[in-house]
């Protein structure tokens, strides 16, 4: 049942990422909603869920992008796994901690991608950091923080999560 919900979530995120988010892009950079969701799933569901959802999300998102399939899977799967590990260490998760975590993780994932890509002479590492990595990390952090704050402050998700785990 849980797997079905995650499959539906991923199926809904693909059109959001590909059709709606390009309209909110700034300097041709848009937030990676898949990355944010994988972080949240890892934090709340643990390493295994984070890893599996990350792998599936990376795979599906790469089908609608020119990005390398394996790299996308490994990056998102790794992010989900690390989020699960971090989630076990952090007892209280505030929106500020989440925003900082998303900022750092997105920066690291972006840098890893920049290093892995065979950038041509027009796209050096400095360009990648300035034009893609940092703006995307900021975007991810703001969108992730806002999502977390909205959902957790407006809805009684905490009890739902506790009941779900019990």
Least distance from another protein to the Cβ atom of residue 63, Å = 5
Please pick, from the candidates 11, 24, 125, 150, the single residue that binds another protein as defined by CB under 8 A: 11
User: Does residue 73 belong to the site contacting another protein (CB under 8 A)?
Assistant: yes
Please pick, from the candidates 136, 138, 141, 144, the single residue that binds another protein as defined by CB under 8 A: 136
CA 147 to chain centre: 12
- Tokens standing for residue 127: 């360009």
User: Does residue 156 belong to the site contacting another protein (CB under 8 A)?
Assistant: no
3-state secondary structure 28-71: CECCCHHHHHHHHHHHHHCHHHHHHHHHHHHHHHHHCCCCCHHH
Nearer to another protein, 22 or 100 (CB): 22
User: Does residue 91 belong to the site contacting another protein (CB under 8 A)?
Assistant: yes
Please pick, from the candidates 112, 132, 134, 147, the single residue that binds another protein as defined by CB under 8 A: 132
- Give the whole-angstrom CA distance, residue 127 versus residue 83: 28
Least distance from another protein to the Cβ atom of residue 70, Å = 5
Least distance from another protein to the Cβ atom of residue 23, Å = 9
User: Does residue 61 belong to the site contacting another protein (CB under 8 A)?
Assistant: yes
User: Does residue 84 belong to the site contacting another protein (CB under 8 A)?
Assistant: yes
User: Does residue 19 belong to the site contacting another protein (CB under 8 A)?
Assistant: yes
Please pick, from the candidates 51, 79, 103, 141, the single residue that binds another protein as defined by CB under 8 A: 51
71 closest CA partner among 114, 16, 36, 134: 114
User: Does residue 165 belong to the site contacting another protein (CB under 8 A)?
Assistant: yes
52 closest CA partner among 41, 43, 61, 66: 41
Q: Tokens 């959001």 — which residue?
A: 16
- Give the whole-angstrom CA distance, residue 28 versus residue 43: 29
């Amino acid at each position: 049942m849980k797997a079905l919900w995650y499959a539906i979530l991923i199926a809904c995120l693909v059109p959001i990422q590909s059709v709606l988010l390009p309209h909110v892009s700034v300097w041709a950079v848009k937030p990676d909603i898949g990355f944010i969701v994988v972080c949240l799933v890892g934090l709340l569901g643990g390493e295994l869920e984070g890893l599996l959802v990350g792998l599936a999300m990376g795979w599906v998102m790469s089908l609608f992008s020119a990005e390398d399939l394996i790299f996308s899977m490994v990056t998102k799967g790794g992010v989900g796994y690390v989020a699960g590990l971090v989630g076990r260490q952090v007892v209280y998760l505030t929106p500020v901690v989440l925003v900082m975590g998303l900022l750092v993780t997105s920066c690291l994932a972006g840098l890893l991608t920049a290093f892995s890509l065979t950038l041509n002479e027009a796209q050096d590492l400095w360009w990648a950091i300035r034009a893609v990595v940092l703006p995307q990390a900021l975007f991810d952090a703001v969108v992730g923080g806002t999502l977390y704050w909205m959902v957790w402050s407006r809805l009684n998700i905490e009890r739902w999560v506790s009941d779900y785990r019990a």
